[in-house]
Structure 1
Amino acid sequence: MPLAAPLAITLGDPAGIGPEVILGAWAQLRAQRRAPPAFVVGGPQLLRGLAERLGIDCPTVPIADPAEAMFASAAGLPVLAGLDGAFTPSRPSPEGASLALASLQWGTKFALSGVAAGLVTAPIAKAALAAIGWDYPGQTEFLADACGRPYRDAVMMLAGPSLRTVPLTVHVPLAEVSALISAELIVHKARIVAAGLSRDFGVLHPRLAIAALNPHAGEGGKFGDEEARLIAPAIATLQAEGIAAFGPVPGDALFTPRARTGYDAALCMYHDQALIPLKALEFDAGVNVTLGLPIIRTSPDHGTAFDIAGQGVADPGAMAAAIVMAAEMATARAHAGA
């Protein structure tokens, strides 16, 4: 089923690697004949100049309306006119942050209105945005707010060809994780993950592995009691609802090749428990997916990388994977709603 509308791709911070990996990803996907209808929200002169300077074979096509992307994609990368600016690689600025924010705001509006089939976001610089008055921890929280959903409903899933992981707690000190975990939190996020896998990934009967917090899953209480006190009751609740959840699985056993064949997503207790295996296995193909929202949102699982921006060495693989995954999710959601 072809997309009914194009994907919207945001610029991210123009001083980072976002613009160049967008160009590189599009060039790669066009060469492979895998590029879905899409457009970049702003930056036509910026992207054209960068492609010329870095020698990226990616012609850009300025468009005045997102709908034009459905046919303009055949000629090159459609870029929405009206938002633009100069930039210096590796040097974030208030002007660049303002351009990144405007691109994100407009892209979100397009996705919410259905003008765009989904949203692919390039990396932002949170400190640069905070300096111009942006008060969100990250793009995920901004999107939840824009969609009228509480932050806790926007669930981050890291996805690659061989692994999907979900951190139940994200940017918090490790010392605070135990106090933040609850059976209710595990159940709430597991429900969202199961629904998202079914609706957006076509997994009819999702299997969820629930990680332990402590070594050896607590060793019968010897190394901690969170497994028996919080995690096991949450798993029992999920199973009673018909969700195929199991665990708690010790973290050192959860990501072996054999173990990974037994589940569709692993719910992890803290940030690094989820991100270390994903980045070790899928660094150049890892995609950050936001579940639990009415819109589709993906992003490459890397940051702005200011240290290498503008040098033409950034790998566009994760951005290409994010674009393809957003298109596949949009197709799956259309099938689910048919």
Structure 2
Amino acid sequence: MKPVIAISLGDFNGIGPEIALRSHDTIKEWCTPLYMTNIKILQKAAKLLHIDIPKDLEIEYVSGDFAIRPGRVSKKSGKYSFKAFKKGVEFTTNGIAQALVTLPVHKEAWMKAGIPYKGHTDYLRHRFKKDAIMMLGSPRLFVALYTEHIPLKEVPKAIKTKKLKKFLLDFYKNTRPKKPVAVLGLNPHAGDNGVLGNEEKYISKAIGLANETIGKEIFFGPVVPDIAFTPNFRKNLTHIVAMYHDQGLAPLKALYFDESINVSLNLPILRTSVDHGTAFDIAYKNRANTLSYLNAVKYALSHIKKG
């Protein structure tokens, strides 16, 4: 029996349906994909894409019908993507599926639909009452984000020793990295010993306390952010912890954009996702790259096998 993977197709006005349909013949060799949607809306997407729906495609019904508007923000499409995602979460929570793989949703469409979450991870935190950790990357390098979708001006006050220590310990428990993990400073030059900011003193203390709790030197830093992604530095790393979204993801995507994935750590379910958005500019043009999606499925399967 192949593992069952629940798949939510994301916002139907974006590239999710194209990626799912074009990748089906590949991933069905690895697992049993179970698509959270309904045949009527999927037929609309397939017609626009000039793609035949595979005869062996298994669907778990999600009610809803609306006009697909390629590349447009839509309240109806946002609402439907959330319903499908929630069904995928429940199927995985109940053990019907062993993992959940998500294709991209649109945050503005969710907002227009009155959905009070900023994205998949935000909902998962609420659903499971757990501090989910967003980690992105590829086997060559993963980056975990201490803060994610908050305004940049709020990041400094979010850096607290106790909170960061807990984040580091949760990250370690869920990844068990074999190599030391670099923790980035917040400020240029990692603060230059207080000359350019003092947040690094909280980061340094959290690193020390986390290592003391673990009983070995797992984390090091604060590392000067502008050297962390250089070839000589990153060649000895598998994981980096960044203090905020763009600090970690701008360089990561410059290096590994097509192959990177998104992983939600510290949850009772296994959830992976693509590391890109809805790409409205190329929606329904049959130009979407499927590599991130395929890698997200591979990651999920490799971690199911690890138990």
Contact 1:36 1:324 in 2 (8 A): no
Residue 214, structure 1, aligned to residue 208, structure 2: no
Distance in 2 between the 1:288 and 1:36 partners?
19
Residue in 2 aligned with 1:181? Answer: 159
Q: Given the superposition, is the C-alpha separation of residues 109 and 218 from structure 1 closer, same or farther in structure 2, using an over 3 Å criterion?
A: same
User: What code does the residue aligned with 2:139 have?
Assistant: P
SS of residue matched to 1:252: helix
Which residue, 47, 54, 78 being the options, matches 2:49? 54
User: What code does the residue aligned with 2:279 have?
Assistant: A
Q: With the length of structure 1 as denominator, give the TM-score of the two structures.
A: 0.83
Shift of 1:45: 3.8
Residue in 2 aligned with 1:230? Answer: 202
Q: 1:242-290, CA deviations, whole angstroms, 9 ceiling, x for partnerless residues?
A: 2511111111221122322333311111111110121011111111111
Shift of 1:84: 5.5
User: What code does the residue aligned with 1:309 have?
Assistant: A
Distance in 1 between the 2:238 and 2:271 partners?
19
SS of residue matched to 1:119: strand
Residue in 1 aligned with 2:12? Answer: 14
Which deviates more from structure 2 when the two are superposed, residues 293-302 or residues 249-258? 249-258
Distance in 2 between the 1:144 and 1:206 partners?
28
Residue 112, structure 1, aligned to residue 93, structure 2: yes
SS of residue matched to 2:154: helix
SS of residue matched to 2:241: strand
Shift of 1:126: 2.1
Contact 2:27 2:33 in 1 (8 A): no
Q: 1:210-239, CA deviations, whole angstroms, 9 ceiling, x for partnerless residues?
A: 111122222222222222x21111111112
Which residue, 66, 76, 80 being the options, matches 2:60? 80
Structure 1 vs Structure 2 CA RMSD:
2.1
SS of residue matched to 2:171: helix
- Identical residues among aligned pairs (%): 35
Q: With the length of structure 2 as denominator, give the TM-score of the two structures.
A: 0.90
Contact 1:194 1:206 in 2 (8 A): no
Distance in 2 between the 1:42 and 1:174 partners?
36
Which residue, 95, 98, 110 being the options, matches 2:79? 98
Which deviates more from structure 2 when the two are superposed, residues 114-123 or residues 83-92? 83-92
SS of residue matched to 2:280: coil
Distance in 2 between the 1:84 and 1:173 partners?
34
Residue 290, structure 1, aligned to residue 260, structure 2: no
Residue 37, structure 1, aligned to residue 35, structure 2: no
Residue in 2 aligned with 1:154? Answer: 132
**What 5-or-longer segments of structure 1 have no aligned partner?**
62-75
SS of residue matched to 1:41: strand
Contact 1:104 1:121 in 2 (8 A): yes
Which residue, 190, 208, 223 being the options, matches 1:249? 223
Distance in 1 between the 2:27 and 2:94 partners?
26
Residue in 1 aligned with 2:241? Answer: 267
Shift of 1:48: 4.5
Contact 2:144 2:240 in 1 (8 A): yes
SS of residue matched to 1:307: helix
Q: 1:191-215, CA deviations, whole angstroms, 9 ceiling, x for partnerless residues?
A: 11111113xxxx4x45321111122
Contact 2:74 2:112 in 1 (8 A): no
**What 5-or-longer segments of structure 2 have no aligned partner?**
none
Distance in 2 between the 1:219 and 1:131 partners?
44
Residue in 2 aligned with 1:26? Answer: 24
Distance in 2 between the 1:329 and 1:261 partners?
24
Contact 2:76 2:113 in 1 (8 A): no
User: What code does the residue aligned with 1:125 have?
Assistant: H
Distance in 2 between the 1:16 and 1:100 partners?
11
Shift of 1:310: 0.8
User: What code does the residue aligned with 1:234 have?
Assistant: A
Q: Given the superposition, is the C-alpha separation of residues 174 and 98 from structure 1 closer, same or farther in structure 2, using an over 3 Å criterion?
A: closer
User: What code does the residue aligned with 2:39 have?
Assistant: P
Q: 1:135-188, CA deviations, whole angstroms, 9 ceiling, x for partnerless residues?
A: 1121111112222x14xx111001213110012112223232211111122211
Residue 196, structure 1, aligned to residue 188, structure 2: no
Deviant stretches of 4+, over 6 Å: none
- Count of equivalent residues: 304
Contact 1:16 1:92 in 2 (8 A): no
User: What code does the residue aligned with 1:12 have?
Assistant: G
SS of residue matched to 2:181: strand
Contact 1:41 1:83 in 2 (8 A): no
Shift of 1:28: 4.5
